[in-house]
Structure 1
């Protein structure tokens, strides 16, 4: 049986815990929930999970992180794993970065911080249905 994974990426552990809790309360045991505190760590997790029996289906990532920003991360991921659905969370991204995340990185959803659980879950449900 294949396992589907949700990956949350943010350099603030409190935000990662909040995301994980919101996703788990909405989707239960149907998915595996992974977290990463940087884009580099997230790439390692993605490479580890991308096998025939396990796959990352959704990435929810912050934009402002040390090292690699969210738009750069999505562009890099999209080149290797174009099927992964992507949601960008941001409180500070400039319009050019958001455009890059959407147009080149193929982020399907951009949500402002602080997000609401309802909007996040609805966005994910929409992506899973598409």
Structure 2
């Protein structure tokens, strides 16, 4: 099965951080592309099985991600509260006490900017529907997982996270600019009047031009 459609070929190997024009990572060697400043990428893995947590952490840490672990939903919420900067939560569904759906629902409510992925060996459609409706999960990872597909899924999750962060930054910048213009108009009302006068003069000039050409 071909897995290299739609994402950089280097994703299948390693290196998802400093990208060149072809989307692949390069070392900081002579003749290579300049290194980009990369924000640290933090992941929380929640699973009651230590072997699962350790396996996921080993794979993701080799890719350069910083991985935090929790063995229950309650511990996962505590880690999120005490560790600002976590951008992605991967949670198992079947756990004692708080289920993965319940955890991701709380994560969505308390940390809406944190992306959520469900890890499950349960193919029950009701689990999938509830996860989408209540936890608004980004993706599902089925146990046992394929390491390559796991890396690709996480790669694209952070691509989406980066786009969302950039969108929030642009919206905030636009809001600041709009507020500045409102303050400027309030403090210097003659500027707004002057702008309206200039617009009116421009419209009159255009009307005269149209009338002259039609005569």
For the superposition of Structure 1 and Structure 2, which TM-score range results when normalised by the shorter chain? Answer: 0.7 to 0.9
* Greater helix fraction, Structure 1 or Structure 2: 2
Q: Quick one: distance in 1 between partners of 2:114 and 2:131? A: 14
Residue 35 of structure 1: which of 69, 72, 76 is its match? Answer: 69
Q: Quick one: distance in 1 between partners of 2:66 and 2:60? A: 10
Residue 53 of structure 2: which of 16, 24, 28 is its match? Answer: 16
Structure 1 stretches of 5 or more lacking a match?
A: none
Q: Give the secondary structure class of the aligned counterpart of 1:40.
A: helix
Alpha-carbon contact 1:63-1:93 (below 8 Å) kept: no
Q: Quick one: distance in 2 between partners of 1:73 and 1:117? A: 24
Higher relative contact order (CA 8 A, sep 6+): 1
Residue 154 of structure 2: which of 124, 127, 130 is its match? Answer: 124
Q: Quick one: distance in 2 between partners of 1:93 and 1:100? A: 12
Q: Which has the larger radius of gyration?
A: 2
Partner residue in 2 for 1:108 = 138
- Deviation string 1:30-63 (CA, Å, 9 cap, x unpaired) is x42110000100000000112xxxx111111110
User: Matches of residues 11-90 of structure 1 in structure 2 within 5 Å?
Assistant: 11-26=48-63, 28=64, 31-50=65-84, 55-90=85-120
Q: Quick one: distance in 1 between partners of 2:41 and 2:146? A: 23
Runs of 4+ in 1 over 6 A off after TM superposition: none
Q: Quick one: distance in 2 between partners of 1:84 and 1:36? A: 16
Partner residue in 2 for 1:7 = 44
Query: What is the RMSD computed on CA atoms of the aligned residues?
Result: 1.6
Q: Quick one: distance in 2 between partners of 1:76 and 1:91? A: 22
Q: Quick one: distance in 1 between partners of 2:43 and 2:114? A: 10
Structure 2 stretches of 5 or more lacking a match?
A: 1-38, 161-215
**Number of aligned positions between the proteins:** 123
